[in-house]
Structure 1
Amino acid sequence: MRAVKRLNFAVLALVVLFVAAVLGSRLDDEQEAVPAAGQTSSAGAGRAAPAFSLEDNNGHVYSVGGPREKALIVNFWASWCGPCQEEAPDLNAMALKYKNVLDVYGVNVTSQDYKPNAERFVRKYMLAFPVMYDLKGDVFDQYQGQVFPTNVLIDKNGVITEVVLGTLTAEELENKIIALTGS
């Protein structure tokens, strides 16, 4: 009887260790998949930006895909995102400063947000660039979005030059804009 109890205990201990090892491995994989703030992702860099059209609250449709007159930053954000709140004033200032050579499109990933909160965010930060609402998250998915904010830098030829995950300092953002626009 004692031998059976020891055997049961040993089997149970092995099962627990196995489960712990599997869960630990999965957590390590997930941590590797979540990038650090301000990290650049090579996902999509060098490829044509996926085409999309989205509407703002005034019914104006904005499109991405193919060559354009100006370079473009597509900023994916959510109103509850602290880093998005930190980034908004700097992004707004850069959009105004570089408006002759750069378009900035704000894309609220409304599938992961609440639209009235997103609209309040736009008013609070007095965003000077167009803001569209990705109601189903389809565009964010097209761009393989992972974190908020995600900034996709697209050159005049419609090619993604860089994907920035998380926030940047104002200086880092401006340096990337200068490199993108040649200004």
Structure 2
Amino acid sequence: MTRRRLLLMGLILLALAGCNRRGGLQIDDPAPVVSLQDLHGKTFTLPQDLHGKVWLVRFWSLDCGFCDKEVLLGLETLYQKYKDGGFVPVAVNVGKYDAGDEHWKRFAQLSYPMLIDERGLTAKKFGVIGLPTSFVIDREGVLREKITGEAGLEEIEKLFTTVLK
């Protein structure tokens, strides 16, 4: 990781921490309206595009040493298992996206939305103060669960399945 990337990530996280005194999105708050592009250039507008679905939005960064990238791959398995019941994971990379970077290839094949938040503005709207952070949003676009820090797939599955039922 270059020093420039580390500095940029640090500045983004510092800005996010300083701009949200309430601790970010709270349980029972509506999800903020945001528009982001995925790795293929398709624009997603949340929560509108996922209305009627239970979604887990996971903020992470390719450069984040605390973010377990295998969780993103595991979310694909959970998506396939629960998508007919209305579950959709959404991964939001906070920071730069370089399509030529070999590290991105394994994520480009995921069938759920992998979105890019290059300037951290969406993370700021959600009140993210550290990576990774995950939110479970119900079918009406309301926050029901929040995980700050890393969580295993079993914990994540328990959180969204309680909302899914």
Q: How do residues 78-117 of structure 1 correspond to structure 2 at under 5 angstroms? A: 78-82=61-65, 83-100=67-84, 101-110=86-95, 114-116=96-98
For 2:72 and 2:111, the matched residues in 1 are separated by 10
Give the stretch that moved more between structures: 66-75 or 138-147.
Answer: 66-75
Normalising to structure 1: TM-score of the pair?
0.67
Alignment-derived partner of residue 116 in structure 2: 133
User: Equivalent pairs: percent with the same residue?
Assistant: 26
Q: Check 1:156–1:76 CA distance in 2 against 1; reply closer, same or farther (3 A cut).
A: same
What amino acid maps onto 2:78 in structure 1?
Answer: M
Higher helix residue share:
1
Aligned length in residues? 140
For 1:128 and 1:121, the matched residues in 2 are separated by 17
Match of 2:42 among 60, 85, 89: 60
Q: How do residues 31-70 of structure 1 correspond to structure 2 at under 5 angstroms? A: 43-65=25-47, 68-70=51-53
Asked if the contact 1:42–1:163 (Cα under 8 Å) also holds between the matched residues in 2, the reply is no
1:141, CA displacement in angstroms?
Answer: 0.4
For 1:61 and 1:175, the matched residues in 2 are separated by 29
1:43, CA displacement in angstroms?
Answer: 4.0
Alignment-derived partner of residue 8 in structure 2: none
What amino acid maps onto 2:39 in structure 1?
Answer: N
Q: Check 1:181–1:140 CA distance in 2 against 1; reply closer, same or farther (3 A cut).
A: same
Match of 2:156 among 163, 173, 179: 173
Q: Verify: 1:145 aligned to 2:128, yes or no.
A: yes
* 1:45-83 Cα deviation digits (max 9, x unpaired): 111001101111322111113571211111111012243
Normalising to structure 2: TM-score of the pair?
0.74
The root-mean-square deviation of aligned C-alpha atoms, in Å, is 2.4
Give the stretch that moved more between structures: 132-141 or 67-76.
Answer: 67-76
1:135, CA displacement in angstroms?
Answer: 1.6
For 2:78 and 2:121, the matched residues in 1 are separated by 27
What amino acid maps onto 1:68 in structure 2?
Answer: H
Q: Check 1:160–1:119 CA distance in 2 against 1; reply closer, same or farther (3 A cut).
A: farther
Q: Check 1:172–1:103 CA distance in 2 against 1; reply closer, same or farther (3 A cut).
A: same
Runs (5+) with no aligned partner, structure 2: 1-16, 18-22
Q: Which has the larger radius of gyration?
A: 1
Give the stretch that moved more between structures: 79-88 or 146-155.
Answer: 79-88
